[in-house]
Amino acid sequence: MDLRGRAVLGVNRLRVLLMLFHTMARIMAEQEVENLSGLSTNPEKDIFVVRENGTTCLMAEFAAKFTVPYDVWASNYVDLITEQADISLTRGAEVKGRCGHNESELQVFWVDRAYALEMLFVKESHNTSKGPEATWRLSKVQFVYDSSEKTHFKDAVSAGKHTANSHHLSALVTPAGKSYECQAQQTISLASSDPQKTVTMILSAVHIQPFDIISDFVFSEEHKCPVDEQEQLEETLPLILGLILGLVIVVTLVIYHLHHKMTANQVQIPRDRSQYKHMG
């Protein structure tokens, strides 16, 4: 083999080694995932942490429930009736994840992998009137469910694995460097591979940050959803109005007291002119 052939062989071997190293690194990154749901005081909320190189790169706290329509035979075994399965994300779920500069992913499996949730996050930069502005968002949700699982599905027609996906999703939009927080319920519609069926995903008690985490296991500054901000305003507005009303009453009383004191010190001029001769 000539020198050129050996060089090509060496380059190919180096490429293979780099690919193996990249694959191993990715596998190791996926394994650095922790389910900390046991730390939550809310029994319906799960806590997931993805770590790479010993550092937290994705944190997610939320409660999730899926409303899944499915068909069963009517009593005449001719007609179909649509039933509904309510599936909650349970504690002790298996979790995987990966982090990237502009793309991060969280995968959750439960009930012996009868159910699987995949959430994809992307970070983007946009040109605005104030200059470039970076945000992140939830760009894709995929829910895989097995209608042959007997806990939630009863005698489903066409039982088996089905996949429900979001289309052109832009949810949880948050400025880069911040976490997203929302206590209110949010619904996301997913189109199912089961014909003419729409799965509804209901999220609540959400606190997520898939990028730019500075401190280990600590969320960055919160970006609250509009519903939470509105509720907070509705809660604080009566307090503010009460303070303003109280201040107006105090000012009125002070003015009245000063006016009364000033008028009390003035010489009273009698209205009856006959009394003028007694003055002086």
Domain parsing of the chain, residue ranges: 29-232
* Alpha carbon distances (Å) from 115 to 28, 31, 88, 95: 24, 20, 10, 12
pLDDT at 102: 96
Tell me the two tokens of residue 43: 């029994």
Give the C-alpha separation, 46 to 48, whole Å: 7
Give the residue from 231, 185, 220 showing the smallest Cα distance to 206. Answer: 185
Going 246 to 248 to 254 to 259, the CA torsion angle's sign is negative
Tell me the two tokens of residue 230: 């509105």
Question: Which residue would you say has higher pLDDT here, 269 or 88?
Answer: 88
Give the residue from 187, 186, 179, 182 showing the smallest Cα distance to 210. Answer: 179
Contact predicate 146/115, CB 8 Å: yes
In the predicted model, what is the mean pLDDT of residues 130-152? 95
Is residue 108 predicted with pLDDT exceeding 80? yes
Please report which confidence band the pLDDT of residue 214 belongs to, taking 50, 70 and 90 as the band edges: very high
Give the residue from 178, 193, 168, 50 showing the smallest Cα distance to 108. Answer: 50
Give the C-alpha separation, 153 to 168, whole Å: 29
Question: Which residue would you say has higher pLDDT here, 273 or 219?
Answer: 219
Give the C-alpha separation, 40 to 81, whole Å: 39
Statement: the pTM of the whole predicted model exceeds 0.95? no
Q: Does domain 29-232 have CATH number 2.40.50.140?
A: no
Is residue 239 predicted with pLDDT exceeding 60? no
Tell me the two tokens of residue 172: 């949880």
Please report which confidence band the pLDDT of residue 78 belongs to, taking 50, 70 and 90 as the band edges: very high
Please provide the average confidence, as pLDDT, over all residues in the chain: 83
Give the residue from 192, 209, 88 showing the smallest Cα distance to 138. Answer: 209
Contact predicate 79/221, CB 8 Å: no
